[in-house]
Structure 1
Amino acid sequence: MSRTAALSSFVESAPPGELTDVTKAIKSILGDDSLHSELTPAFEKYNESQFATVKLPGGSTEVLVSEHNRLGDGRYYDVESQSSFEFDHSTQRASNVQSYVLDSNHADLVKSLVKSLSNHTSEHYPKSSLGVYPIEDDTQLAILTVANKYSPSNFWNGRWRSSYIYDPSSGSLTGSIKVDVHYYEDGNVRLLTNKNVSASLGANATATEIVRQIAVAEKKYQEDLNKAFASLSEGAFKALRRQLPITRQKIEWEKISGYRVGQDIGGGRSR
């Protein structure tokens, strides 16, 4: 594996909200601050696959960066704000905002989906960004949602991504839900999940019907995750530790000197 490929693999596997930290660590280890050009393709792949979000200059909401709204030459577009922008993948900043009018036979459905999906995400996610984009020569629609929650002061960060492809002619809806959570206090624990979703809505379904199906799939997956966590807590994780000492009695720490272990630690008589 070449150096560039090895470094790119670190970038592309960076946990949510930690791309800057990973990049700094790479520079520190190699003692090289001029890595941006070498890693630009990896930054681009990471940002697009992770649905990076960015505030446009003068804007108040964050818009998505993905392969589905890529225009080329480092530019992307946003349906809701009717604008296009340049995006620097190494600094994750937007610039050079211009007006952009969506040219699609499904423009009305796209706008309706943006509105319905916005209602859904605002109800179920504390902070999220979304996008709906015509793809495959305007024959299909990509429906994307990303919700980030970062708490580096408490040593954890997390990201929810859902992406669906809707075919207006057949009414098929396919996609996936991905959850990525990283805990790193005194160690590293990372949750990576991928749930495939498929449904048939019938041709020319309305935006409300499409988003309702999405809401059903995401609610069920959230419930499945909660059940899995409860099962781990009561099963596998619980089995990893002994809840009581071999005597089946809780240790009274104020009387620790009366225990054999306390005598041993204190240099007292042991049997």
Structure 2
Amino acid sequence: MASAEVVSSFVQGTPPGELKEVVQSIQALTSDGDPSLLQHPKVKAAFQNYNESQLVCAKLSGGSQHVLVSPYNRLEGNKYYDTTTSTSFTFDHTTQKASNPQSYTHDSTNNDLISSIQKSLATHVAEHYPAQSSAAAGSAYTVASPSETPTEIAILISATKASPQNFVSGRWRTTLLYNTGSRTLTGTIAAQVHYYEDGNVALNTTKQVSENNVGDSGSEIVRVLAKLEKQYQEEVNRALVGMNEGSFRGLRRQLPVTRQRIEWEKIRGYGLSDNLKGNK
């Protein structure tokens, strides 16, 4: 029977949008399909840590709005709040379902600035992130004020796109903290992609970002956020192009079975079927 430590490692390594399949695999690995292993304290903690660190999105019951979970908008137990919809909700970390939405406003000394950031962030997200309706895909954002650090405001964006029929899934996460005293913006931007048709290829990249002298209005803060996201996306694109033209080409066989070099620039002109016919 799989141990709680092994199951926890499976949960922590789950690709974007594939937790349901991982849970099914965990149950299949147990000798009798006993679901109690998923209720083990270590496993439950792994589910919560995974969902919060991944900024997992979920739809509120009875509506189409997506919300996200994180350490910054957690209340007590499995309850979280969302400033976009002004609600609190209960989140099941195993099924990734949000339920029991209730009207809620989080009191903070930064409420005015949070509202200003929220307004500008809504425009940014609508322009750059897809609005998906399925449970396995979606985008959400929220602005939270961690009670233990009243001088910080957390700005969170999460977008997931899972397409099982095409054997691909991915998630973008922006986690930035704005310090109202120093007017700095610091945090991480991360992208994760999993492609698993006839193989298993994963991309997992994270960048630490920081900006000083940001300004003290919502529009200025979101403008800097957009700049940091654009810089990161351009860096990832350049890295992928360089990998395709360098590393991947280096993995190719230099001489095929014909012992003649392939001219990769003319690869579209090669016809495998024609060559086979000619060898008959």
Q: 1:9 to 1:252 in 2, by over 3 A?
A: closer
Shift of 1:88: 1.2
Partners of 1:201 and 1:210 within 8 A in 2: no
1:36-64 Cα offsets, whole Å, 9 max, x none, are 21222211111111111111122221011
1:46-85 Cα shifts (integer Å, max 9, x gaps): 1111111111122221011111111112111111211111
Q: What corresponds to 1:33 in structure 2?
A: 34
Provide the secondary structure at the position in 2 that maps to 1:9: helix
Instruction: Tell me the amino acid that sits aligned with residue 229 of structure 1.
Output: L
Deviations 1:16-40 (Å, cap 9, x if unpaired)?
A: 0111111111110113231221222
Structure 2: which 5+ residue stretches go unaligned? 132-138, 263-269
Check the 8 A contact 2:183/2:212 in 1, yes or no: yes
Q: Which residue of 1 aligns with 2:260?
A: 247
Identity of aligned residues (%): 47
Q: Which residue identity does 1:124 align to in structure 2?
A: H
Counterpart pick for 2:55 among 36, 51, 58: 51
Unaligned runs of 5+ in 1: 263-271
Change beyond 3 A, Cα 1:12–1:255:
closer
1:99: which partner in 2? 103
Partner Cα separation in structure 2 for residue 92 and residue 142 of structure 1: 22
TM-score scaled by structure 2?
Answer: 0.86
Equivalent in 206, 209, 233 of residue 244 of structure 2: 233
Residue 157 (str. 1) matches residue 169 (str. 2): yes
Change (3 A) 1:253 1:21: same
CA distance in 1, matches of 2:56, 2:277: 56
**Within the alignment, does 1:148 sit opposite 2:160 as a pair?**
yes
**Comparing both chains, which one has the higher relative contact order based on Cα–Cα distances under 8 Å and sequence gaps of 6 or more?**
2
Instruction: Name the counterpart of 2:93.
Output: 89
Q: CA deviation at 1:242?
A: 4.3
Tell whether the 8 Å contact from 2:87 to 2:101 is kept in structure 1 after alignment.
yes
Matches within 5 A, 1:190-229: 190-201=202-213, 205-229=216-240
1:68 aligns with 2:72: yes
How far 1:111 moved relative to its partner? 1.2
Task: Give the equivalent residue in structure 2 for 1:266.
Answer: none
Mapped partners of 2:231, 2:161: distance in 1? 21
Matched letter for residue 52 of structure 1: V
- 3-state SS, counterpart of residue 145 of structure 2: strand
What amino acid is aligned across from residue 120 of structure 1 in structure 2?
H
Q: Which amino acid in 2 is paired with 1:256?
A: L
**Does residue 152 of structure 2 align to residue 172 of structure 1?**
no
In the alignment, the residues of structure 2 paired with residue 257 and residue 55 of structure 1 have an alpha-carbon distance, to the nearest angstrom, of 56
Contact 2:84 2:141 in 1 (8 A): no
Residue type at the aligned position of 2:7 = L
**SS at 2:46's partner residue?**
helix
Residues 75, 86 of structure 1: 8 Å contact kept:
yes
Cα deviations by residue, 1:210-248 (Å, 9 ceiling, x for unpaired): 111111111011111111111111111122224874334
RMSD: 1.9
The ranges of structure 1 where at least 4 consecutive aligned residues each deviate by more than 6 angstroms after the TM superposition are none
Specify the code of the residue in structure 1 equivalent to 2:170.
Answer: G
SS at match of 1:226: helix
Aligned partners of 2:228, 2:277: CA distance in 1, in Å? 57
Q: Paired residue for 2:81, among 59, 64, 77?
A: 77
Q: Does 1:17 align with 2:17?
A: yes
SS of equivalent to 1:68: coil
Q: Counterparts in 2 of 1:105-120, with a 5 A limit?
A: 105-120=109-124
3-state SS of 1:220 partner: helix
In the alignment, the residues of structure 1 paired with residue 174 and residue 107 of structure 2 have an alpha-carbon distance, to the nearest angstrom, of 25
State the structure with more CA Rg.
1
Once residues 252 and 69 of structure 2 are traced to their aligned partners in structure 1, the CA distance between those partners, rounded to angstroms, is 44
Shift of residue 117 of structure 1? Answer: 1.2
Instruction: Quote the Cα distance in structure 1 between the aligned partners of 2:169 and 2:271.
Output: 35
